[in-house]
Amino acid sequence: MPESGTTEAAPRSVGATIELEGLTKRYPGSDRPAVDDVSMEIGAGETVVLVGPSGCGKSTTLKMINRLIEPTGGRIRIGGEDVTDMDPVKLRRTIGYAIQASGLFPHMSVAQNIALVPKMLRWPAARVRDRVEEMLDLVGLDPGEFRDRYPRQLSGGQQQRVGVARALAADPPVLLMDEPFGAVDPITRDHLQDELIRLQRELHKTIVFVTHDFDEAIKIGDRIAVLREQSHIAQFDTPEAILTNPADDFVSGFVGAGAALKRLNLTRVGDVTITDYPTVGVDDPLDEISARLRSAGTDEVLVLDKRGRPYKWLRRGDIVRAQGSLARAGVLVHDTVTRDATLRDALEAVLTDNTGRVAVTGRRGAYEGVVDVETLMNSVHELLEADRLEARESQTGPEERRSAQTHAEQEGTRPSGDRGEAQA
């Protein structure tokens, strides 16, 4: 329910359904409506991405949901309740809103920015304070370090995290995101996308996300609405279905080349086997490390730093040459992936590092396991196999494709693969 943000009883509201019915926006003096008769049902807790070329009205459609742009026709229902004629200011306090380049107010500290909506909802001061800490923690920023900073003292990625924290602060059931990661560099964008997926798994909000980047849509969306001009829905389906069965030339044009490679974006590291790997602490004595290497029966161990993050790869030979000090021995870990990273990210990391595997990290970058190149090869093989099967049957719906994929994962999953879920 939209009101649940204000009630003390509900500690955490999950998503609410959103129904758009014949939503239309017509600007005066223009003969064609900017958004023409959009109808869409979005399930509670679902992430729906609106994707389309610029000027197609996707952003206008999004802004009509919280009535930043007043629709000229149609109805909006959130959680079953018609909000088309509700007081827009009250409505917006129950809907999280995150925009490009974070939209943080530069004259307010991080804490003040996050506290805005809870304060407008007249939460008691102590609760607001706790909530700010909780939100900073949630988006992976240390409250002690970042609470009192001003937006300009943050990197683009950090600003965007705070922007998401502010949008979620009053615990709204619905979160609208308008190209939120459009203004950050590709690497940061990747991390932010992973974070959002992790958050969403914890929070189960209903998210409507606007982007013009189809790869981003595939990565984030449970379902994707590909829009053409005037927000006409060209196809509204799961990423898998859109990739394998584009509805028409417009959609396949938008999907672009390399659909097979993009399939890798649909499977996450958490879905494949994450194996354990012998690790040692950076402060462990050398003879202990040697003993660990012998007992593990491998040529290499992963050295973790004091906070349990992957630090460097250490080979047997490195220890012999190290002569008592680890400071210069081994190869620094270049890249790690989280469970929410896609197989494509993982493959990238494995290909750039020469160890044949990539470390998987969890909260605050702590080590959780590794994925090796064989696992990745097997997964790719299975994905392609499933695609071929699909092509042969040509009429297969997304449900069956999903089950085929799940089946493939089960085959490839050894018991150790389930281990990390509780930690994550």
Partner 1 sequence: MNFWEYLESRHQQLLTDAYQHASVVFQCMVVATALGVLIGIVTYRSEWAGSLATTLTATLLTVPALAMIGLLIPIVGLGVPPTVIALTLYGLLPVVRNAIVGLRGVDPALVDAATGIGMSRLSRLVRVELPLAWPPILTGIRVSTQMLMGIAAIAAFASGPGLGNLIFRGIASLGSRNALNQVLAGTLGIVVLALLFDAAYVLLGRLTISRGIRA
**How far apart are CB 236 and partner 1 at their closest, in Å?**
25
Cβ 121 to partner 1 shortest distance, Å: 9
Is the CB of 101 or the CB of 259 nearer to partner 1?
Answer: 101
- Please identify, using beta-carbon distances, which residue of 115 and 341 lies nearer to partner 1: 115
Interface positions with partner 1 (CB under 8 A)? 63, 66, 68, 89-95, 97, 99-101, 103-109, 116-117, 120, 150-152, 166-167, 176
Q: Which is nearer to partner 1, 111 or 319 (CB)?
A: 111
As to burial, measured by CB atoms within 10 angstroms (0-12 exposed, 13-18 middle, 19+ buried), residue 124 is exposed
Query: What are the Cα distances from residue 349, in Å, to 141, 194, 339, 352, 413?
Result: 25, 15, 13, 5, 21
- Residue 24's φ and ψ, nearest 5 degrees, are -135, 140
For residue 397, give every residue at least 6 positions away whose Cβ sits within 8 Å of its Cβ, in sequence order, or none. 241
Residue pointed to by tokens 């004595």: 285
Residue 89 CB, nearest approach to partner 1 (Å): 5
Nearer Cβ to partner 1 (16/91)? 91
Between 104 and 272, CB nearer to partner 1: 104
| Paired tokens of 294 | 């012998």
CB of 138 to partner 1, least distance (A): 17
Return d(Cα 330, Cα 314) in angstroms, integer: 4
Q: How far is the CB of 169 from partner 1 (least distance, A)?
A: 9
Residue identified by tokens 């999280």 is 96
Cβ distance to partner 1 smaller for residue 109 or 267:
109
Nearest to 414, CA basis, from 386, 378, 381: 378
CA-CA-CA-CA torsion for 389, 391, 393, 395, nearest 10 degrees? Answer: 130
Residue 349: both structure tokens together: 């990391």
Residue 93 CB, nearest approach to partner 1 (Å): 3
From the CB of 141, what's the least distance to partner 1, in Å? Answer: 17
Minimum distance, C-beta of residue 6 to partner 1, in the bound complex (Å) = 12
User: For residue 173, which of 80, 111, 49 has the smallest C-alpha distance?
Assistant: 80
Nearer to partner 1, 93 or 219 (CB): 93
Using alpha carbons, select from 123, 117, 17, 19 the residue that is nearest to residue 76: 19
Q: Is 10 helix (H, G, I), strand (E, B) or coil?
A: coil
- CB nearer to partner 1: give 153 or 416: 153
